[in-house]
Amino acid sequence: MFEILKREEMADGTVVMNEINAPQIAKKAKPGQFVILKANEQGERIPLTMADTNVKKGTVTVIYQVVGKSTALFKSLQVGDHYQDVIGPLGQPTHLEKLGNVVCVGGGTGVAVLYPITRGLKELGNNVAAIIGARTKDLLILEDKMKAASHELHVCTDDGSYGHHGFVTDVLKDILERDNVDLVVGIGPVPMMKFVTKLTADYHVKTLVSLNAIMVDGTGMCGCCRVSVGGKTRFACVDGPEFDGHQVDFDELAQRLDAYKNEEKRAHEKYTHECKLSQEA
């Protein structure tokens, strides 16, 4: 059992941070790796890339968006409650190295995944520009942490309520025009990663993306997380989650992520209805 030691709601309660007691995982985990969590015996296995780890405290931090039944169940867990299972660290860590000028681009909750990578790249002596975006000001997360983890931070909102009015790709284009960029890391919704890589391809800049494929076992056995990279089938859980963005088939990934949308919607509605009934009883 893995106790929740700290809990915070962000982005109007649509995003939740949990600091979880998991010393063995904290000792081994590296930026870019993920854990699989299960709330209870019958719970669904949910993969989440770690937003932080603390070896001294023996904790791992995950930040998730509440999108369906399982994340709604996670949200109901409070400080002192336990996840039944936290498995990890899983996946390949980010290959962090000193390259020169690096741009880290994050959209929505993808910023949580981007944060430890941004910090690691800065610690290695890279000159790091960061761009984070959200639909509106209230949905932005980790602005202060991303500011500290980079040399310059650009904030974008789709509705212009804060920072640059527009997408993260607008600001990325300006930076690609201004600087000789050695690496771009783009993490967020699939359309964002697709358009980040389209843009960087024009400037011939290496681009890493983190793929949030559907996963079951997380150890390369079920094939659920398969993605096409450079025309080859790869498993996001063991070969990734990070890949060369210029090689990824984003349209296939988007299609596979949509495969269970109706079932996910029905399960979430049923769960919300049952919660309401138990509150009324």
Residues forming the site for ligand FES (CB under 6 A) = 215-218, 220-225, 235, 237
Q: What share of the chain is helix, strand, coil (3-state, %, to 5)?
A: 35, 30, 35
Task: Give 93-133 as a DSSP string.
Answer: PP-----SEEEEEEETTHHHHHHHHHHHHHHTT-EEEEEEE
Stretch that binds ligand NAD, among 16-24, 106-114, 224-232, 271-279 (CB under 6 A): 106-114
CB–CB of 168/174 below 8 Å?
Answer: no
CB–CB of 50/91 below 8 Å?
Answer: no
Q: Among residues 73, 102, 187, 253, which is the contact residue for ligand NAD, using CB under 6 A?
A: 187
Question: Which is closer to ligand NAD, CB of 33 or CB of 109?
Answer: 109
Question: Which is closer to ligand NAD, CB of 32 or CB of 126?
Answer: 32
Q: Which does 168 bind (CB under 5 to 8 A by kind): ligand FES, ligand NAD, none?
A: ligand NAD
The CA-atom distances, in angstroms, between 45 and each of 35, 215, 218, 233, 255 are 10, 8, 9, 23, 21
Question: Which is closer to ligand FES, CB of 220 or CB of 230?
Answer: 220
Alpha-carbon distance 34 to 16, whole Å? Answer: 16
Q: Which does 217 bind (CB under 5 to 8 A by kind): ligand FES, ligand NAD, none?
A: ligand FES
Q: Which does 85 bind (CB under 5 to 8 A by kind): ligand NAD, ligand FES, none?
A: none
Stretch that binds ligand NAD, among 1-9, 54-62, 166-174, 232-240 (CB under 6 A): 166-174
Question: Which is closer to ligand NAD, CB of 93 or CB of 189?
Answer: 189
SS (H, E, C) 185-250: EEECCHHHHHHHHHHHHHCCCCEEEECCCCCCCCCCCCCCCEEEECCEEEECCCCCCEEEHHHECH
168 binds ligand NAD (CB under 6 A): yes
46 binds ligand NAD (CB under 6 A): no
Burial of 2 (0-12, 13-18, 19+ CB in 10 A): buried
Q: Which does 222 bind (CB under 5 to 8 A by kind): ligand FES, ligand NAD, none?
A: ligand FES
Q: Count CB-CB contacts under 10 A for residue 252.
A: 12
189 binds ligand NAD (CB under 6 A): yes
Question: Which is closer to ligand FES, CB of 100 or CB of 223?
Answer: 223
- Shortest separation between residue 211's beta carbon and ligand FES, angstroms: 11
Alpha-carbon distance 231 to 212, whole Å? Answer: 19
Residues that bind ligand NAD (CB under 6 A): 49, 65, 107-110, 113, 133-135, 156, 158, 167-169, 187-189, 191-192, 195, 210, 212
